[in-house]
């Protein structure tokens, strides 16, 4: 059995969410994947502004001491929809910089992990 690569992060009190974008090739798929993987609230409107609002919402937002969002297998979406991917990265960047109360760290995974 392979150890979870984020056990040490969780042990330090951080919450870890993994957003796996394998097979996502459009905005609708991206938003659906975000809604499920990040357990976004019912009111999530599946658009860029709504995603930014959710990521900055104190009820969802960064936990104390922090929340790590790992985005993996994003390259296919980035290649299929480069403009959308740029917007997604901007939303993640803004949420990480302007997080509400705690720290949100967003990591774009380049290698494979379990």
- The low-confidence residues of the chain, meaning pLDDT below 70, are 1-3, 58, 61-63, 98-102, 112-114
Count: domains in the chain: 1
d(CA 25, CA 11): 34
Alpha carbon dihedral 65, 53, 40, 9, in 10-degree steps, equals -20
Please give the structure tokens belonging to residue 59.
């009820």
State the residue range of the domain holding 84. Answer: 7-108
Please tell me the pTM assigned to this model: 0.86
Does residue 114 lie within any of the structural domains? Answer: no
CATH of the domain at 25: 3.30.370.10
Does residue 31 lie within any of the structural domains? Answer: yes
Helices 27-37 and 82-97 pack at an angle, to 10 degrees, of 30
Please give the structure tokens belonging to residue 90.
């901007």
> In this predicted structure, what is the pLDDT of residue 99?
53
Percent above pLDDT 90 for the chain = 55
Q: pLDDT tens digits for 70-84?
A: 999 999 999 999 999
> In this predicted structure, what is the pLDDT of residue 55?
87
Does residue 1 lie within any of the structural domains? Answer: no
Does residue 113 lie within any of the structural domains? Answer: no
> In this predicted structure, what is the pLDDT of residue 102?
61
């Amino acid at each position: 059995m392979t150890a979870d690569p984020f056990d040490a992060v969780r042990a330090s009190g951080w919450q870890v969410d993994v957003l796996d974008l394998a097979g996502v090739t459009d905005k609708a798929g991206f938003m659906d994947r975000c809604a499920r993987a990040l357990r976004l609230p019912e009111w999530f409107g599946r658009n860029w502004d709504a995603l930014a609002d959710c990521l900055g919402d104190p009820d969802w937002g960064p936990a104390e001491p922090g929340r790590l969002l790992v985005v993996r297998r994003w390259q296919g979406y980035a290649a299929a929809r480069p403009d959308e991917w740029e917007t997604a990265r901007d939303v993640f960047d803004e949420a990480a910089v302007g997080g509400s109360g705690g720290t949100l760290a967003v990591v774009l995974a380049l290698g494979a992990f379990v």
